[in-house]
Amino acid sequence: MTGKFICCYQKYIHTYYKPLIFLLYTLLVFYMGFISEKPLERYLTRVFHKPLVSVVMSTFNRAQALPDAIESILKQTFQDFEFIIIDDGSTDDTWNVIQSYAEKDSRIVALRNERNKGLIYSLNRGLDVARGKYIARMDDDDESLPFRLERQVLAMNEHPDMTVLGTDMLRSKDVVKKQSGSPVIADPDEVELNSYFFPVLAHPTVIMRRDFLNKHHLRYNPKYLYAEDYGLWKDVLNAGGKISNIKEVLLYFGVVKDVTRPPNYYNTSYETFKTIQWEKFKTFWPDIPYEWRGMLDSSEHKCLLLKKMSEANKTLKILNQQELDKQCFSLCEKEKLKQEGISVIHPQWKDYVSVNKNNKTFFRVDVPSETGKIMKEDASTVTVKWDHYDIETFRKEENGKKWVLTEN
C-alpha cells in the first residue's frame, strides 16, 4: 500500500507540480518585465550583478537641486556602481525626481521613508542595503567631479589597509584637472592624531570599506546628532581601522546656496562634536575636565593634552608615538623658542630657529626635521648649511636676534 502511494505521489509531482512552477516563474518574469514599474533589466541587475561601489545619498525636500547631485554621480568615469537614494519623507516633488531618474538608469536604488526620520536613520538604511565592496557618501547639495569614484577606487585598491578615505573639496566650481598616477594620501598617523582636535574628513567626500563596517557592526550612532560622521570615524579608529585623505579635489561642496538647516543645527552639532572629542580624550586622561570640551583653541590646553596623551600612549600604544612627540614639540616649545630663538627672514619662508650653542646646530621651529649647521660666524654674518638647502649666508640684525639672507 505504501509503495503504491509513493508511486502515485511521484507521478503527481511529475505531471502537475513542475509545470505549475514553470508557469509561476513565467508569470513572474512577465510581471517584472511588462507590468511592474521596475523593468526586467533592473530586476536582473539587482539579482545577478554585484557592483564594486555603492553610493549612498539621503535627501529631503531638495527637488530643485537634486538633479545636479544625481547627474554628477551618473556621469562618473567609473561606472560599476549602484546609487542608493533615500527620500527621507519629502513633502515636495523630491520623490518624483528620484523616480524619474530611476526609470532611466537601473543602477539607481530608490528608497522612501514613510515620514521624515532624519539623516542618521536614512544613511543607516542605505548602509544596510548596500552591496558594494566600497561605500561612497554623497550629499544632495554637492556635486562630485566626474573622476571622483575612479580616483577613490584606485586609492582604496592601492591602500588595502585604509578603511575610510576622504578627499579635498572646493566651495566653488573652479576648474579642476584630473591628476594622473597613484593618488597621494595624507599620513594616516598624523590624520588620526589630528582627529582628536578637529573633524579631519569631509563627510560627503568619503569612501569606506563595507566589510569592515559590517564585521565590527558599525553604523551611524543616533546619539551623535548632527556630528554622526565624526562619531563614526571615532568608532572606526577604535575598531582598529585607519582613516586618511586623498590630496586631490574631488567634490564641489555646498554648491546649493539655499540649504535650510533644522533649528539649532549648528549649536547642536558643536555640542555633539565636543562630547565625542571628550570621549576620545578620556582614553588617555580619564579625569579630563568635562568643561574642557571645545576649549582647544587655547595653546595652553592643547599643549597639556598632548603631553598627557604622549605619556599615556607609551603604555596604551594607541597612537604613533613619534607623531605625538613631534606635535608636542611643535606646539609646546614653539612659543618659547620664538621668544628665545632667532628670527630668520628668507625669501621662501619666514621662520624661527633654535640654536644649540654647544655644537652650533639649529633647527626650524615650524619644520623640526629641517636642521642646519653653522659653518662660519662673525660679528655681522653667519653661514649656514641646511640639510635640504644650499649653503646660505645671513646678515645679523637687531643684536643678532634676526638674520636676513644676503644677496650672495
Looking at 332, 347, 362, the residue that finishes a domain is: 332
Are 125 and 18 members of one domain?
no
Phi, psi of 345 (to 5 degrees): -100, 120
* Count of helices and strands (H, E) across the chain: 14, 15
Closest alpha carbon to 190 in 243, 120, 269: 243
Are 18 and 162 members of one domain?
no
CA 189 vs CA 226, 228, 314, 327, 368: distances in Å: 26, 22, 15, 11, 17
Instruction: Supply the range of the domain harboring residue 17.
Output: 2-36
Q: Which residues sit opposite 85 in a β-bridge?
A: 57, 110
pLDDT digits (tens, 9 = 90+) for 240-256: 999 999 999 999 998 77
Q: How many CB atoms lie within 10 A of CB 142?
A: 23
Closest alpha carbon to 249 in 151, 138, 136: 151
The pLDDT of residue 390 is 76
Q: Looking at residues 314-338, what average pLDDT do you find?
A: 83
Are 32 and 47 members of one domain?
no
Whether residue 296 is contained in a domain is answered as yes
Whether residue 128 is contained in a domain is answered as yes
Are 114 and 234 members of one domain?
yes
User: E strands, 63-195, where?
Assistant: 81-87, 108-112, 134-137, 143-144, 164-170
Strand bridging mode 108-112 / 81-87? parallel
- Domain CATH code at residue 232: 3.90.550.10
Q: Looking at residues 259-271, what average pLDDT do you find?
A: 87
CA 51 to chain centre: 21
Closest alpha carbon to 183 in 150, 153, 151: 151
pLDDT digits (tens, 9 = 90+) for 124-153: 999 999 999 999 999 999 999 999 999 999
Are 230 and 359 members of one domain?
no
Are 207 and 318 members of one domain?
no
Q: Looking at residues 9-23, what average pLDDT do you find?
A: 59
Q: Looking at residues 331-358, what average pLDDT do you find?
A: 62
Lowest mean pLDDT among 172-186, 260-274, 355-369, 378-392: 355-369
Quick check: 208 pLDDT over 90? yes
**83 falls in which pLDDT band (50, 70, 90)?**
very high
**224 falls in which pLDDT band (50, 70, 90)?**
very high
Quick check: 322 pLDDT over 70? yes
Q: Which residues sit opposite 29 in a β-bridge?
A: none
Whether residue 275 is contained in a domain is answered as no
Whether residue 240 is contained in a domain is answered as yes
**179 falls in which pLDDT band (50, 70, 90)?**
very high
The pLDDT of residue 248 is 97
pLDDT digits (tens, 9 = 90+) for 95-109: 999 999 999 999 999
Are 176 and 315 members of one domain?
no
**337 falls in which pLDDT band (50, 70, 90)?**
low
Whether residue 267 is contained in a domain is answered as no
Are 67 and 133 members of one domain?
yes
Closest alpha carbon to 42 in 33, 51, 31, 50: 33
Residues 26 and 114: their CA atoms lie apart, in Å, by: 32
Q: Looking at residues 56-76, what average pLDDT do you find?
A: 96
Q: For residue 55, what is the enclosing H or E element?
A: strand 53-59
Contact between 83 and 165 under an 8 Å Cβ cutoff? The reply is no
Long-range contacts of 391-395, Cβ-Cβ distance < 8 Å, separation of 24 or more: 392/346, 394/344
**369 falls in which pLDDT band (50, 70, 90)?**
low
Are 159 and 299 members of one domain?
no
Whether residue 270 is contained in a domain is answered as no
**186 falls in which pLDDT band (50, 70, 90)?**
very high
Q: Which residues sit opposite 404 in a β-bridge?
A: 345, 395
Whether residue 211 is contained in a domain is answered as yes
The pLDDT of residue 374 is 81
Q: How many domains does the chain have?
A: 4
Helix ranges restricted to H, 105-227: 119-129, 148-158, 188-194, 210-215
Please tell me the pTM assigned to this model: 0.75
pLDDT digits (tens, 9 = 90+) for 4-13: 545 555 555 5
Are 116 and 27 members of one domain?
no
pLDDT digits (tens, 9 = 90+) for 228-241: 999 999 999 999 99
Looking at 332, 354, 389, the residue that finishes a domain is: 332
Are 120 and 62 members of one domain?
yes
Task: Say which residue, 211 or 40, is predicted with more confidence.
Answer: 211
Quick check: 361 pLDDT over 70? no
The pLDDT of residue 130 is 98
The pLDDT of residue 3 is 55
Whether residue 273 is contained in a domain is answered as no
Are 158 and 287 members of one domain?
no
Lowest mean pLDDT among 196-200, 292-296, 338-342: 338-342
